[in-house]
Amino acid sequence: EAGVAQSPRYKIIEKRQSVAFWCNPISGHATLYWYQQILGQGPKLLIQFQNNGVVDDSQLPKDRFSAERLKGVDSTLKIQPAKLEDSAVYLCASSPRTGRNGELFFGEGSRLTVL
């Protein structure tokens, strides 16, 4: 079974530029998450989708971050404009369950460096 796919693996940009990350979850997984993991910290939830609807985006900095999951399958996370503090690994995870109680399957992450 294919795992969660993410791209790009690495991205270096200058502050105020924009960047987009893509995630393809495991086939059939209804729930998709984007997490931000800053060096030395645990992953922090940015947004949770169930199918193509947003379940929780309370911690998404909506002035610069946006995410969509148009057809209920793959998803993109965009940052525009980027700030230095956005340097982090952006992890996508999926789950076959609709709640958050249960194992999440993570992708390998997209490492963003903002200069």
**By the criterion CB under 8 A, which residues form the site for another protein?**
3-4, 40-45, 56, 91, 99-109
C-beta of 45 vs 81, nearer to another protein:
45
Q: Which is nearer to another protein, 22 or 81 (CB)?
A: 22
Under a CB-based contact definition with an 8 Å cutoff, are residues 111 and 87 in contact?
no
CB of 81 to another protein, least distance (A): 27
* Minimum distance from residue 17 beta carbon to another protein (Å): 26
Closer residue to another protein (CB): 63 or 101? 101
Nearer to another protein, 48 or 79 (CB): 48
DSSP one-letter string for the chain: ----EEE-SEEEE-TT--EEEEEE--TT--EEEEEEE-TTS--EEEEEEETTEEEE-TTS-TTTEEEE-TTSS-EEEEESS--GGG-EEEEEEEESSSSS-S--EE---EEEEE-
